[in-house]
Structure 1
């Protein structure tokens, strides 16, 4: 690429690197995200897919708890990721966009852009799914890409023409492709992506300033910040108020069964994680995995469903728990199809069903706690 640059582009990039020789904040963000993921993976015993309950316990943006006053989840969720693929893709995008943004905006403006766009993204996620669970840095990353795009457009008159065209095309392609992929792949938090992108574009226009012109109108910065906060506040105020569960009949049999269920469920989840780990590392064939799923795991989840249904007749908690168990079983059945067909769409559907099962489990725990979230 270097041999294609014109002299003005080289001089501009030299000026950027002189302004910020090392992108230490971007590197720190990547380091902290990776460190948190390693700790969660060790804690949960899983690396390909971190259980939803673990993500909620570590500060995920579980909307029910966030709306009950745990507002810090709007920011802590930016440092949590649901699996190794999730964090790998996000950190690659963060490092590429963050390195340029930190040099283009400067350290303080970049910090403001990243966290405020991430905040709006998290609020948008709660607004879209008032009972959902969202994690990941992607909302903030979309904000960085959006900020870069509008900054490039606003400062076009002082950018080298070659650099302007290359940046504009690359940013538009990434944003367009990522948004399209998000709407096509099940389980992606598109509300957070769009919310972060919009906030980032507003902030990018407000904070943009080219090297050599370090001063920027304070009024423009204030207007950008105000617009982003108004967007976040408007989304937050339009979220429906949480409705506490209505308590009805409770049966001692369900209480006793629930205590045993937790141990059985944990053992099955651990067995599933071991199976998937062996499958991905070539220690198990697809046929062997299918055999174990069909003859061991799927029947075990079905047996749990039957036990809950038999013990919980008339108990108001039973329906919620059965939704979780059924969704877990559905996910495993779709996984069998994915292993037989080797089609990515079935694997994506299986992952989406498991994510939905985790949401049902969190909802059930909220119901059992009487609608008052327990602190992690």
Structure 2
């Protein structure tokens, strides 16, 4: 009998990349398995999933809008419509299991699957579970998590500590530091910092960096700076006098190169970003995005800081504190070594396989 699985969710790279990693692992275990992705229409999964070689269908669903309450007036209708769409996808595709990776499309698909008696698995990436997953967790068969202490959100008998799946371009990268530095037009033998704010960039981090650009040249430290599209032109113009040491990009596809070239990383604290940083064993200065749902990025970062596996600067303080924290860390070899050793202990390179095996078990 051919098994069929729906993987639902998306909205950001942080949900899409683990979903694709799980799908690839499922295909390795059972090549004959049929996988259908379900995402939100107009979101990046509708492009990224077909690029990875999988079919995807879209639901008409959006998130609750915290900044413009008027936009929420149509939300009840979108939820009803997406639940009906989820129902008809299940009826047509007849899945043996449904996996939710978080993001808009996850809720309607899992909600409908649970009410139709189809086994469901939740992959909760953050250290602080969102409202939708907490509700779905009551009826889910398995809940795969990346952090300790998740029984405060979910029934403990359903929890499996798997870690977060990381894309294979990072886990299987063979690039050397020299090749990585050459790729960015940087010199070997100099301290190098990689700063990024996720796929969309982070304005507060970029503005803090812009203010300390002269120090990179003064202290002979190199910077790989991923800005996101919105800040790219501003950053590019600001970096012109410091071009020998500062390289500006709106988006970096070869993340394994950027990690390999760097001595210290500055980033947001999304769950997938952290999962990658654990595997590449880099000292990180976290600047959590303060408007993430339930402030989950701060909880993610604090989970590492409490284990001496990272440093944290509040978003509101980054303009004042980034320069001092960054350049004193670069001088402190003992602290760099401690952060590297502790973050490495939290890495999990086979989370995708562990989760895929759980999905197969659910299908019997």
Same fold, judged at TM 0.5 (above): no
TM-score by length of 1: 0.26
Greater strand share, 1 or 2? 2
Greater helix share, 1 or 2? 1
Could you say which structure has the larger radius of gyration? Answer: 1
